[in-house]
Structure 1
Amino acid sequence: MARPDRRTADALRPYEMHRHFQKYPAGSVLIEMGNTKVICAASIEDRVPFFLRGTGEGWIAAEYSLLPSATETRTQREAVRGKQSGRTQEIERLIGRSLRSVVDTKALGERTIMIDCDVIQADGGTRTASITGAFVALVEACASFYEKGKIFPVKDFLSAISVGVSHEGVPILDLCYEEDSRAIVDMNVVMTGVGRFVEVQGTGEGRPFTHEELGELLALGEKGCRELISYEKDVLGGELVWLVGREG
């Protein structure tokens, strides 16, 4: 099977993250997965949703947007249309849920960290790239208020990747748009550093998939997530990587 960029079935696209991409957020990252590029920024707000007021717990929320020029055909801004699409809302919830799964909300204190994920170029896998990049931005943001000797709010590493069954029937890792648009099965996998699944979103778009195919896709997803988490550690470096999971 020949992939558009001649990768093997179990290979990620070339990837890179640039920290401190923006001046003003407490944490910011530009993540590139092949031709997909997303700016992920983490801003700290000294307030929480009404249901957490007085509890001593914090919150992680996400906003996601696709710039009009991010795709081959210009996409109208949702602000112009006057409402968010169901897809956007779904992705925002996914990013928020994923990040909260590795956060100690008590250690966060009564503050909200707002994660903004802005896709400046889309070529498949924008939601999974957003989660991976947002995690690094989140660690940066939490480090900005962390006090030595206390529990660091981020308990474990986190990454996400897409997997699928190609139109030729082959399980593949990290689909670009051309592959995703023709895939028989499409799936997103979110995993923690200790290897636990946070979320698995899979759909048989061309046909139902088998238990065997599901196992192959999960194995590919785990491989991709582990590779990205290893890279996250390199990106964070000795300056921050030791904070994740620290309890004092």
Structure 2
Amino acid sequence: MPLGSLRPSPLVEQATEHLREQITQGEWPVGTRLPGENALAKALGVGRSTVREALRALAGAGLVQARQGSGVFVIATAGAAEPAESWAARLRRAAITDVYEVRMIVETQAAVLAAGRRTEEDMAALEAALEARERGAEGDDAAFVDADIALHAAVVAAAGNPVLSDLFAEFAPALRGRLIDLVELLGLREHHRNPGHDTHAALVAAIREGDGTAAGGILQAELEQTLTHLHAKR
């Protein structure tokens, strides 16, 4: 069955469904290695980032598995009854714009709380995380994203709410891969190895000064800007 080019929107959902059909209809039996991202993108008429999102959705559904250095393989079909989807799986298959909207809500409010509750230990952790983000900028995209997430985790921790911290801890792994792709997709580090440094420094300063309005506003503006880029790329 030929894949065929997709309609303009929503591309990720369509790509996921087309690839799922290939598996469920026996075109790619269990154990089959899927074509590479470039081949799938060309066949579907979409970009590589859309293919990555679709493959993540299929992985979250338990149909495929990425094997480092080997590719993506079919590990199951949709013929059997599927178990209830876990929160982690739901996050993995969610559209990046949906993930980012939730991230914005959670982290903006966490920053407001952090400004009112931060301790000296929290501030030491935030200052260390800001410095680590600067050092991470000297590495590859993955190292930079890991350092960036660590700083945002420190902001959430400073809110002093263990439920928020647990939520972010489960949220972060699903976010990590998307952010690495995002840095590449938007070319965020092509002209500046440490994008957003001034913004993050201002965020830490606002929390130190106990200014929740400023802290929440800085973080929301940063995430909204990225979300705008994401919507434009869909």
- Normalization by structure 1: what TM-score? 0.23
Q: Report which of the two has the higher share of helix.
A: 2
- Normalization by structure 2: what TM-score? 0.24
